[in-house]
Amino acid sequence: MDKKRFEVVFSQLTKRRKEVLLKFLENKTDSEIAKYLQITQSTVRKHIEEICKIFGFENDFVDERRSKRRDLYALFAKFKPELLDVSIGDTKSLEELNCLNKSNTFNFKLDNLHIDLTTLFKTARLLQIDTSTVNQIKECIDKSYPVLNEINNRQEELLRLQTKEKQGNLNWIDKQKMNKIVPSLSDKDKQRLFAKHLGISENDVENFYRVAPVKKEVFIKICSILNLTWEQVVDLNFLKTLILLVPQVRSQYANKIVDLCGKLHILYCSKPIEMDDLYVDVNILNQPASYQWLDLSEIPPIYDQETHEFDRFRLGQVNQPRVDGFFAVETYDNLMVLGKPGSGKSTFLKRIALQCNEQQIQMDRVPIFINLKAFADFSKTIGTFDLFKYIIRDLDSCGIKEEIILCNLLEHGRVMLLLDGLDEVSKNNNDEVIKCIDRFYKQYFKNKYIISCRIAAHKYKFSNFRDIEIADFSKEQINIFARNWFTAIDKNIQNGIIKSQKFIEQLQLPENSQLLDIAVTPILLTLTCLAFQTKLEFPSNISTLYKRGIEALLIKWDEAKGVKRTNVYGKLSLENKIELLTYIAAKKFEISRYFFKKDEIKQDIVDYFSSLYDYNENNLATLLQDSRLVLESIEIQHGLLVERAQEIYSFSHLTFQEYFTARKVKTLINNSDSTIIKYIENFGDERWREVFSLVADMDWNFEQLQFLKKQIDEFMKNDESSELEDVILWVVNKSDLNKFETKYQPATIRAFYLSLALEMIFDASSVRNINLSLACDIDKNFEQDLQKGNTAINNLFTAKEFDLGIDLMLVEKIIFTSLGIPIKNVSLPNCRDCDSQLNQALIELENEVPNLLKSQEIEYSGEFLENLRNIAIKYRKIGYYWLFSDEKQENKLKQYYYAHKFLVKCLKNAEDNQNITVAMKRQIQQDLFLPWNKL
């Protein structure tokens, strides 16, 4: 680009882009520009990318990620150096600097790099003092105004108090003051004084003092108060490393970082996805949740006894704010990134590497990404664990062959080392890898280190590392991930957005609360998106999705990373692992326990192993030791059990505890185990609703369905009271097909009348429509007829099911009247096939209403209701109040109803999956709702 073209392009920039550009040319960071212009950092990045394109700086290849910012900077050094605050005489040096940075040949001897010092200074964002000037600086600090002034003030105050003491006027407060006054100042005191005097942070002054990099403006401020010029004390080798070496190495190493980190390999996906297309900014917890000390009584309940609903998100809720992940990277020196399996730890580290590579964060460092398992395997092969040599080998593959280059970078703290997957290192190599990292850190402590590890595997505490935990996705992050996922997979942005909107809408429906519960980690959210992707709806058999999610955590995730676990738990088969988790989950769920102490879980593991292997009392110590290792392994390897607070555990998601409990129920049925009868008592209990829903979604065959039907009948046979059977006898007599004609199945009619009986028995204060779902579940024709018009009664009359329509209308009017709900009329609809005698009695009752209203309105309600009931009983044998001797009988009738609702759902699932024929289904249905003592 020539000067004339440059001026034209520059003049055509929008006002906002010029504002961003000018701040960029002042060497401001993206965050500083965003803060100054009150826009987001992503907006700043987009503006700079567009400006680069406008001036002709675009990458040669679509997937090339080398930043063009330095090219842009050099262009302005050539044509508009005044915007860089650099004199015309410096322009040549800047051009030389740019040529050096773009060169593929390294002149690694810093002393041989002859670039104008002023040019280096203008370009630098950070400066640090030369170690040879430390004593000189200490002398200048001691002679500086803030220090001398403070010493003088202290001495004057001490002299004043000593004078008062001689005069005998020293009070108790003055004596305390005098004892605290120290005439001299510590280094910390001096740093505090400087910070206050200059209006900067104490941390900046401390870094300056201990030969660590500080911002250029801070460096100059401190030098000015010490009456020094920056040239006198600056570390020239640091400056050359920062301005010359870092950009060169980063540029040469950039494609390696893109190759290692640019694509995400997704479980169950045939091809990788671009990081930029899918990544969602993560939040972190400043303190891992498991570090807090709580008692079980301090953990809030997750099941509401009044609403009968689970607060599924509360299971993993933490009482601390979430912090943006990149804020933590920029704020803290060294990080140990912890998280559950599949929580996004590796992806986060890869994203950090890419962002650093593109100079979005830590722009004065070179990112080096190392998979610790690969490092350990390589080191084991060659017989030595040496991180320095491993990095040299990595750099050599990119044409960076001189060791002194890495030495310069490390000695000046210009490397950001990202060490991924400490938990994936085999047990045999783990200690060696930790020692190696520790040695390397202690030798090159000035650099930035970020290590990732599963939270339960984190045992060794590296000094000066801050532990943070990847937080579960918020609902907003779930929405963003879904949008990114579907647009990345579909390759059509508009179609992807439409699909993601449908996904989010369905995921947020109350009936999908279990799916939302597990969709808070990337791995499980990915599986949820995959399940939705094909048909744009969630599978009807949702338990299959949970099964795949659990298998992904138990086996697939480690397999995909090539990780093998070798301990007592690792030797268990997949089936044994599932059985163990099923044992723990069901045992706790049955007693309404969702959080449990570590010792409880260990005992459960002991009990399971005792049933699995032949342990005796002599093996007890071994068994207890194994239980500890197993618990640790469950948490480390797949995170299905997690530590919520110190020694307090729960399943990672309530949905998984429910799924494993459902497996226990289904296993009992599969094995024709009569102890299943105790679970029938839980039918109708809202706490068990999702468990039985999952059981119904599992695979069923004819023999299992027969066994379940038999156990429901056995459950009712155990009751000695005749009250429950009286209700069923009434249902059977009322459903006698010899008394009326109908196109529906006998079981449908019996389900219809059982539902009406239940409406009369139980409190219907919140019911506006009578629940006929059981009959609908049995008979599709009945369900279709009920959906054709406005009301169920009109629909039944339209379908010419007059007997059913009349009985439904009578029960509805009785219930509405008992609740004080207004009814329009009492008489039957005008139809030729209606019961004329019944209708005449209802018309007469309706005619009495005005007279009753004139007299006693309160008595009217009760009298009218009883008259209406008597008419219904007389003419239709319906409207009875079924009275039970105790609440237990009422509950048992509810359990009977919901057990059949469950059985019908299982029958439908088996038929849909072609596990049974229509004839098999009808064979079981023909015996539904019959007196159990006659079966």
Interval 338-365 mean pLDDT? 91
At residue 565, the pLDDT reads 55
Question: For position 63, what pLDDT does the model report?
Answer: 42
| pLDDT for the residue numbered 89 | 36
Is 104's pLDDT higher than 60? no
Q: Which residue has the higher pLDDT, 535 or 355?
A: 355
Pick from 496, 511, 495, 504: nearest CA to 528: 504
* pLDDT tens-digit readout, 844-888: 887 776 554 444 433 345 788 888 889 999 999 998 888 888 888
- At 306 the pLDDT is 64
CA-to-CA distance for 247 and 226, rounded, in angstroms? 32
469 Cβ contact partners less than 8 Å away, ≥ 6 residues apart? 284, 285, 287, 288, 289, 337, 338, 339, 455
What whole-number distance in Å separates Cα of residue 821 and Cα of residue 846? 16
Q: Who's near 437: CB < 8 A, 6+ residues apart?
A: 387, 419, 451, 462
Q: Where are the alpha helices (DSSP H) in 302-383?
A: 325-331, 345-357, 372-382
pLDDT at 571 over 70: no
Q: What is the mean pLDDT of the chain?
A: 83
Average pLDDT rounded to a whole number, residues 304-315? 59
Between helix 145-166 and helix 172-180 the angle, nearest 10°, is 140
Name the nearest CA neighbour of 145 among 220, 226, 217.
226
Report which listed range, 71-80, 136-145, 456-465, is most confident.
136-145
Spatial distance between the Cα atoms of 426 and 566, rounded to a whole number of angstroms: 8
Q: Residue 388: how many CB atoms within 10 A of its CB?
A: 16
Render pLDDT for 240-254 as a digit per residue (tens, 0 to 9): 899 889 998 998 999
Burial per residue of 739-760, b for 16 or more beta-carbon CB atoms within 10 angstroms, e otherwise: eeebebbbbbbbbbbbbbbbbb
pLDDT of residue 321: 77
Is the model's pLDDT at 784 over the cut of 50?
A: yes
pLDDT score, position 302: 64
CA distances from 533 to 479, 482, 818 (A): 15, 11, 49
When comparing pLDDT for 856 and 458, which is higher?
458
Residue 735's φ and ψ, nearest 5 degrees, are -95, 10
CA–CA dist 524, 568 (Å, integer)? 27
325: which DSSP letter? H
Q: Which runs of E-coded beta strand occur in 48-201?
A: 126-127
Q: What are the two backbone dihedrals, phi and then psi, of residue 322, each rounded to the nearest 5 degrees?
A: -90, 145
pLDDT greater than 80 at residue 316: no
510-523 tens-digit pLDDT: 888 888 888 888 88
Q: What is the DSSP string of 155-181?
A: HHHHHHHHHHHHTT---HHHHHHHHH-
pLDDT at position 573: 78
pLDDT digits (tens, 9 = 90+) for 208-217: 988 999 999 9
pLDDT cut 70: percent of the chain above it: 85
Q: Is 322 helix (H, G, I), strand (E, B) or coil?
A: strand
Dist CA 176 CA 181 (whole Å): 9
Higher pLDDT, 106 or 252: 252
Residue with tokens 């509805």: 812
- Give the residue from 908, 835, 907, 909 showing the smallest Cα distance to 875: 835
Mean pLDDT confidence for 394-422? 93
What's the rounded mean pLDDT across residues 5-18? 87
Asked whether the beta carbons of 416 and 451 are under 8 A apart, the reply is no
Instruction: Identify which has the larger pLDDT, 22 or 863.
Output: 22
pLDDT at position 373 is: 92
State the average pLDDT over residues 505-513.
Answer: 87
Nearest Cα to Cα of residue 282 among 225, 226, 349: 349
pLDDT greater than 70 at residue 369: yes
For 432-443, how does the pLDDT look when each residue is reduced to its tens digit (9 = 90+)? Answer: 999 999 999 999
The string of pLDDT tens digits covering residues 80-93 is: 877 874 433 344 44
